[in-house]
Structures are given as structure tokens and as C-alpha cells.
Amino acid sequence: MARRATITGWGKCVPPISLSNADLERFMETSDEWIVERTGIRNRQLSHVENTDLAELAALRALACAGLEASELDLVVVATCTPELLCPSVAAMVQDRIGATNAAAFDLNAACSGFVYGTSVVAGMVESGFAERVLLVGAEKLHYAMDYRDRGTAILFGDGAGAAVFEPSSDGDGVLAVDLGADGGKGGTMLIRSMGSRGEPSFTNDPAVFGLHFEGQAVFKIAVQGISASAARVVERAGLATDDIDLVVPHQANARIIDSATRRLGIDSSRVFVNIDNLGNTAAASIPMAISDALDAGRVKAGDHVILTAFGGGVTWGSIALRWGSRTDPVGVHEGELPDTDQNCFELLRDNLDFYAPLHIDKPPVV
């Protein structure tokens, strides 16, 4: 049987500061009812620590779940579009902190499709024999790039990290097929301009260009088409029919995108995993966090056919078909936690609200 890459460990790190729809009503003109109806989101979690801290804890939890020592890893990859620094990579910092002394490390940016792109890369490394044990993390601190007075964007996103360990299998389990694609011509529909080299040194201090720019409706349409077509291709490439699919774990962008895309695919909601209500859209972290939650909820059994599918900035899209291996319960548990905080969301976002205030001078003061 061909050598494949299978997931043997999973873990997530959910930061502790809640930002509910009722909290958002205090920054901007919106309502819980509007947000739930249009997006399915009721709450998101924000991080008081850096992206790397979230990634590290998710990584340690995934390693304990797999029953591995960090020194047994050959490679650490972090998918992110909000790295703590551009150089060194988040992956290199995680590699050092967890003690993965024998591993190479790099970051990968395909925005919300990052974990799917990352899975294709690490699966290729394992299948080819270039690597034996690989840690793939999706980690984001998206709140950093949000204008919390902009109701069209800030309602959607949250922070978090999820991780998975991939190891070789020879019994048919693991990644069966991959579909990846991109349309760079539509890249302007989702922009984070504050973290690249474009512009003068003062560039990042201008609130008009700093935050995420986002064309919600355009993205919505591209996402529904992109996800359903890509997922259909990967199902076919894996030699499966839609009836063979036990669970779809989609990128958690918007409950309506997930509904429309999976309906087009012919998969009913009982076979789709959704946790967007509590976490919002966490970009590259959303699929690995959803995998963890699906395992914890007993939604994945040995031998299940699982589809991962995502759409994101770039624009990029991609899907993975895999057959879940024998591990559905963790080998061990990592007990560490993030450092405590007594900040609430209003305290955490105070500087953000002040920074963007000049763009909203016609609006009433908040909180």
C-alpha cells in the first residue's frame, strides 16, 4: 500500500478574552440579530498574547496528543497571515520554544486557506520520505488588523491556533487527494497592507491603510463557488462519491457560505462540522481548531472520509480528502495554559478604538 501522511495528534489554543455580539453593539451600529442571521457568529475570542504564544500551546497539545517528543519532529510549519514578526518566522520561534531541535521550520501564507495549503505541503514531505514526523500549526492574531469601529469587517474575525501532527501510514489511511487553486487577480478583495514592505516607514501609522480592507459581498460569492467546486474536485480525485463523505470540516468564514457551498456539493448539514458561532473566522487557525473540536465531540471515527475545504485572501482556495486513521483519542494531554489576564475586551481594544477614531469622526463615542 502507498505511503501516506495521516494525522496522529491534534490540539488547539483558544485565547481567553470573549468578544460577544452584545459587546460589539457598544462599539458600532450593529445588532446580535443582524450578525447571527448574516454570519452565524455569536462570539469570538481575542488574544492578549502574541500569535507565537498561541501557536506554541496548540503545538504542545498536538504533540502530547500524538504521544511524541518535540525532538522527534523533522519539520514545523506554521500557516498564518498575521505573524508576530516577518523574520524570524513564527515556525522558527515555535521550533525553539518547544525544543524541536531536529526540525526545520518555516511559515506559509495562503490566508484562510493556509492550513489546507500547509496540509498539502507536509503530506507531500511525508509521502516522499523527506520527512517522518511533521507539525503543522494554523495560528492567527487577527484582531490586530481590525478596525473595531468598522461593522463590515470586525464582526467576523477572532484569534486562535490549532495544530496537527502528521506521520506516515501504510494501511491506506491519510491524505488521499489534494486540490489547490488561486486567482491573484481578485487579491484586492481582501487586503492586509500593514505588514509588507510597500510604502514609506510612516505607512503603518495611517489608520486609513493599516487595517484589513475587505469587500464582503464579492468575497462571499467567490467563496461559495470556490469551496464547492474545489471540494467536488477533491472528492472525485480521491475516487469517492459525495455519499462516501462522513464529515466536511470547512474553513469557518460565515455560516451562510458553509451552508450554500455544502448544499451545492450535495452534503447535508449533519455531515458538516461548524463551530463558527463561538470562535468566528480565525483564518488559517479555523480548520485545525475545528478538527480538534470535531474529535473532542466524537464526530470523527477511524476510517471516516473527511474533507477539509477553505477559501481565503490571495485569493486562494483548496481542499483535502483524507481517510482518518486509527487514532481518535489522545495518547496524552499537555496541561500548560496561556498566562492569566484580567483584561476584558473593552480594555484590550482601547488602543485600537483610539487609533481608528479619526476614520469615524461622524459616529458617536463608543463604550
Binding residues for ligand COA restricted to 247-276, rule: CB under 6 A: 253-254
Position 217 contacts ligand COA (CB under 6 A): yes
Minimum Å distance from CB 79 to ligand COA? 13
Given 281, 305, 345, 352, the catalytic residue: 281
Residue 120 corresponds to which cell in the numbers above?
Answer: 498539502
281 catalytic? Reply is yes
Q: Which one of 7, 62, 116, 223 is in contact with ligand COA (CB under 6 A)?
A: 223
Position 17 contacts ligand COA (CB under 6 A): no
Position 227 contacts ligand COA (CB under 6 A): no
Position 280 contacts ligand COA (CB under 6 A): no
Q: Which one of 10, 273, 311, 317 is in contact with ligand COA (CB under 6 A)?
A: 311
Between CA 156 and CA 163 the distance in angstroms is 22
Between CA 213 and CA 345 the distance in angstroms is 22
Minimum Å distance from CB 361 to ligand COA? 18
Cis peptide bond N-terminal to 88, omega within 30 = yes
Between CA 109 and CA 125 the distance in angstroms is 18
Nearest 10 degrees: Cα torsion 347, 348, 349, 352? 120
The shares of helix, strand and coil residues in the chain, as percent rounded to the nearest 5, are 40, 25, 35
CA nearest neighbour of 179 among 240, 130, 134, 258: 240
Q: Which residue is nearest to ligand COA (CB)?
A: 216
Q: Which amino acid is at 348?
A: L
Position 30 contacts ligand COA (CB under 6 A): yes
| Continuous segment of H or E residues that includes residue 76 | strand 75-79
Residue 118 corresponds to which cell in the numbers above?
Answer: 500547509
Stretch in the footprint of ligand COA (CB under 6 A) among 11-19, 33-41, 292-300, 323-331 = 33-41
Binding residues for ligand COA restricted to 154-183, rule: CB under 6 A: 155-156
251 catalytic? Reply is yes
Interacting residues toward ligand COA by CB under 6 A: 30, 34-35, 38-39, 112, 151-152, 155-156, 216-217, 219-220, 223, 253-254, 281, 311-312
